[in-house]
Chain A
Amino acid sequence: MQPHLKRAFLILVLVIIGFLFVRSFIVPESFGQYGWYRGDSVAELRDIPVGYAGSTSCSGIGNECHKTTYSIWVDSGHKTVNCETCHGPAEKHVIDTRIMPEPANDTREFCGLCHFESAARPVDFPQIDPETHGENLKCAYCHNPHKPWFL
């Protein structure tokens, strides 16, 4: 083989070795562990803290903190509405009861997000015309939000 070819080969081999050397430093260790991605990121994404605790954290399984309200709610028309849908995420409050969640929004507009008349809502869903119903009073003035017909 001619010397200029040898030199070309040598340079090529050095470039490949250099590439592999640099690559071994840049690419994270867990890359390619499960596929063409960084394997550690799966565990990282799983370890994000939870915000919403679920209604059973309020009462039911293992605790009876909000027993009365829970027992009213659990057989009401609002039983499909989870506590935190109105009261907001409460995992922090479950871990440390001194951290109080913000009070639930009790404005007409908040109830209206579900119950103001809209052509796009299913016809059998309870809806009111805000102009004619309730004389602009807060809904909770007549309806118990935990049991809407428990006046």
Chain B
Amino acid sequence: MDISRREFTKFGCRIIIGAAAGATIVESIATMGAAQVESPNKDYDWNEHLWGYVVDTRKCIGCGRCANACKLENEVPFDEPVYRTWIERYRVTREGNEETVKIDSPNGGIDGFIEDIPAKEIKKAFYVPKICNHCDNPPCVQVCPVGATYMTEDGVVLVDYEYCIGCRYCIQGCPYGARYFNIEKGTADKCTWCYHRITKGLLPACVQACPVGARKFGDLKDPESEINKILDKERINVLKADLGTKPKVYYVGLDREVR
């Protein structure tokens, strides 16, 4: 058999591509078969739950106790400007027909907000709590090159701190700015909806800390849950719905200025 260099290279490339494709298919079949297996915890079945979150922006008073409780519960560095949840203040002022929106979130709202615009000049103002949306189609999980971030069967997007290489792709990939780099851990970090609490039957720290009930947490699979009743009754919205990320944080009374 006489073979040219070109043909040899072509043949070799085909084998390599074929082997790589084959390995991928075998691996995907292997992991797909394992996807619906038993829960990793004996006293908690993650197949029975699908967690969801409702924020009522009409109730929020901007006290920042949620962001403070989150930092205490999850050991988020207090001296860094990083937050798993934070409060934004939107103030719309009008001069003639010209409307301007001023958005601020000093220290995530933990230390309160300064009233630097006289109340008379403000046309409309409101607080909006922000948190990881735990998207059903999470961009941060797609971009992770090592499989260090993932969505659990109960719908929570988590970070594997042992496996994360700290490349920060996910921080860039998140359209909501919900991820941050944890300098103490040397990894990407984010809201877990307090996974260590909700799997023990407790509420996330931010929901428990909220003094006005602006934050609600519950099981979307349970038709009797409080959040399902809100979703059935109220006019709800999600952030950046057009991106197709399918967020599981639902907002009641969301203004058009909020992105």
The interface of chain A, by Cβ under 8 A from chain B, is 1-2, 5, 8, 12, 16, 28, 31-52, 54, 78, 80-82, 84-85, 88-89, 109, 112-114, 116-122, 125
Q: Does the CB pair A32–B30 fall under 8 Å?
A: yes
Q: Is the CB of B147 within 8 A of A38?
A: yes
B192 an interface residue at 8 Å Cβ cutoff? Answer: yes
Q: In the complex, what distance in Å separates the CA atom of A109 from the CA atom of B113?
A: 11
Across the interface, A119 reaches (CB within 8 A) one of B12, B125, B148, namely B125
Judge whether B185 is part of the interface by a CB distance below 8 angstroms: no
B64 within 8 A of A: yes
Contact indicator A45/B212 (Cβ below 8 Å): no
Are B160 and A32 in touch, CB under 8 angstroms? Answer: no
Assess whether B202 is in contact with A50, with CB atoms less than 8 Å apart.
yes
- Residue contact A120 to B90, C-beta cutoff 8 Å: yes
Residues of A within 8 A of B160 (CB): 37-38, 41, 44
Decide: A42 and B65 in contact? CB cutoff 8 A: no
Partner of A43, one of B16, B40, B63, B119: B40
Residues of chain B whose beta carbon lies under 8 Å from any beta carbon of chain A: 1, 3, 8, 12, 15-16, 19, 27, 30-31, 34-35, 37, 40-41, 44, 58-59, 61-65, 69, 72-73, 89-91, 112-113, 115, 117, 119, 122, 125-127, 147-153, 158, 160-163, 192, 195-197, 199-200, 202-203, 205, 208-213
Q: Chain A interface mostly helix, strand, loop or mixed?
A: loop
Give bound CA distance, A106 to B223, whole Å. Answer: 41
Least Cβ–Cβ distance between A73 and chain B, in angstroms: 12
B37 contacts across to A, CB distance below 8 A: 33-34
**In the complex, A36→B37 CA distance in Å?**
14
Given A42-B158, A122-B58, A37 contacting B148 (CB threshold 8 A): yes
Q: Is A41 in contact with B208, judged by CB distance below 8 angstroms?
A: no
* Assembly CA distance A35 to B162 (angstroms): 17
Q: Residues of B contacting A116 with CB < 8 Å? A: 112
Distance from A34 Cβ to chain B, minimum over Cβ atoms (Å): 6
**B61 touching A41, Cβ below 8 Å:** no
6 examples of A-B residue contacts, CB within 8 angstroms: A32-B34, A34-B153, A37-B148, A45-B158, A117-B119, A118-B125
* A90-B12 Cα distance, complex, nearest whole Å: 65
Kindly state the separation between the CA atoms of A84 and B208 in the bound complex, as whole angstroms.
9
Q: Contact between A45 and B208 (Cβ–Cβ < 8 Å)?
A: no
